[in-house]
Amino acid sequence: MVLQRKFIPVRAAAYVALLVLATTAVSIAAQAADLTWKQLQPATPFPDRAAFATAYDPVSKRVIVFGGVDASGILLNDTWTWDGSTWSPVKTRVAPAARLGAALAYDRKLRKIVLFGGSTGFARLDDTWLFDGSTMKWKKARPKNVPAAASNAVLFVDPINGRVDMYGGRRKMFYSRDTFQWTGTDWRLLEPADSPYPRAGCVAVLDPLRKDVVVFGGISDNWVTQNTWTWDGNDWTQLSPTTQPDALYFTSGAYDPKLKEVVVFGGGDAAVDQDLTWAWDGNDWNKLRPAASPAAREQFGTVWDPASQQFLIFGGTNFGSGEIFGDTWVLTGK
């Protein structure tokens, strides 16, 4: 299936600069032979799509997926769930408008999923929606303070108070370095002493073992994104690991409690999508060597599902071929 590339934001201008990026030598960490990616065959497969928003919902004990774009280039506004064995559509009378490049995260105090922004393919959005896992319904929030419309920002759980924080994104004609926090009813702009360079499409994962959020990669105007930062709930800190992945963008990751590391798969690098698996141990990045891997891709979903004890990736697209994926994979082994 061929994806209509005009619907994937920030790519056109991005590749001119990406093609001239130099690749970086990386070290390879030894891995146990039983570590592998295994494709699942659920009775109802994941619907082919890319650039959707996803998060795990502890209330419904399901993975929540919203929106994205399909192989015909049509933007979507449907909601799907994963219950540990199958994908199911959720019928909702009210839902956010169709979009791609939005972000989701779970608010531990509010006990609801928060959605912000995204793009219609022609305009960025600034709306906030809440998904209640106890009723499986969407409700539009009406905050007094509204961040500028953004696509490909990242939302994540704050390591201190469990609220939803937001960083970066493409806003207006520029990339952002702003950090916001959702209070439960409103957005407030945080003012850390330092911030990562402006970017969109980066990976941001809460590491509960080390009580911080790790951020890597993304797209920016000057491509200063091959760096690793952590957010402790008060400030951003740039780290200096010995090894780092190449300048990945539109990748995804999650914390794997079995490995006790943040695991990141795929993403684009110099206009070529990758099928590599990386792990962050709190000090350094290590390239894992699973026996089998999913096809190279970007703009897909990654989540740790506590209910089924599975580390999953699903969907996405390969920019080179234009293929849209509807597969589901699980990382197994140690």
- What does pLDDT average to over the chain? 91
Please calculate the CA angle 111-170-267 and round it to the nearest 5 degrees: 80
Angstrom distance (rounded) from CA 169 to CA 152:
5
Q: H-helix or E-strand containing 331?
A: strand 328-332
pLDDT on residue 224 = 87
Both tokens of 191, joined, read 């003012």
Please check whether residue 139 is in contact with residue 120, taking contact to mean a CB–CB distance below 8 angstroms. Answer: no
Cβ count within 10 A of residue 135: 11
3-state secondary structure of 318: coil
Give residue-wise pLDDT tens across range 98-112.
Answer: 999 999 999 999 999
Residues 6+ apart with CB under 8 A from 207: 213, 214, 255, 262, 280, 282
Angstrom distance (rounded) from CA 248 to CA 221:
14
Give residue-wise pLDDT tens across range 244-295.
Answer: 999 999 999 999 999 999 999 999 998 999 999 999 999 999 999 999 999 9
Give residue-wise pLDDT tens across range 149-188.
Answer: 999 999 999 999 999 999 999 998 899 999 999 999 999 9
> Is the per-residue pLDDT at 50 higher than 80?
yes
Please check whether residue 215 is in contact with residue 200, taking contact to mean a CB–CB distance below 8 angstroms. Answer: no
Domains and CATH numbers, the chain: 5-332 (2.120.10.80)
pLDDT on residue 84 = 95
CA 146 to each of CA 125, 153, 167, 181, 333: distance values in angstroms, whole numbers, following the listed order:
11, 14, 14, 11, 44
